[in-house]
Amino acid sequence: MYVCLCKGITDRQIEAAVHDGADSLGKLRKTLGVASQCGKCSSLTREILDETLQSSSMLEIPMLAGMPQFYAVA
């Protein structure tokens, strides 16, 4: 879905930029140009940023990234 109508930027583009290291609204603005004109997309962009960062950090926890979630008891 389009998030920034001024620049024609979608939620997928924002998510991809976050995965590529844009971890702040300023970096997204610099990278994509999102929220650089009227600014009406700022709050939704920040929401997508926060959700993407949160879901990315969950994958970095070994127990949730395919590692065993239990220990064998001898």
Positions that interact with ligand FES (CB under 6 A):
4-7, 34-41
CB closer to ligand FES out of 6 and 16: 6
Q: In angstroms, what is the minimal distance from the CB of 14 to ligand FES?
A: 11
Q: How far apart are CA 36 and CA 29, in angstroms?
A: 6
Nearest to ligand FES of 37, 57 (CB atom):
37
Smallest gap from residue 54 Cβ to ligand FES (A): 22
The SS3 of residue 73 is: coil
**3-class SS at 1?**
coil
User: Cβ 5 to ligand FES, closest distance in Å?
Assistant: 5
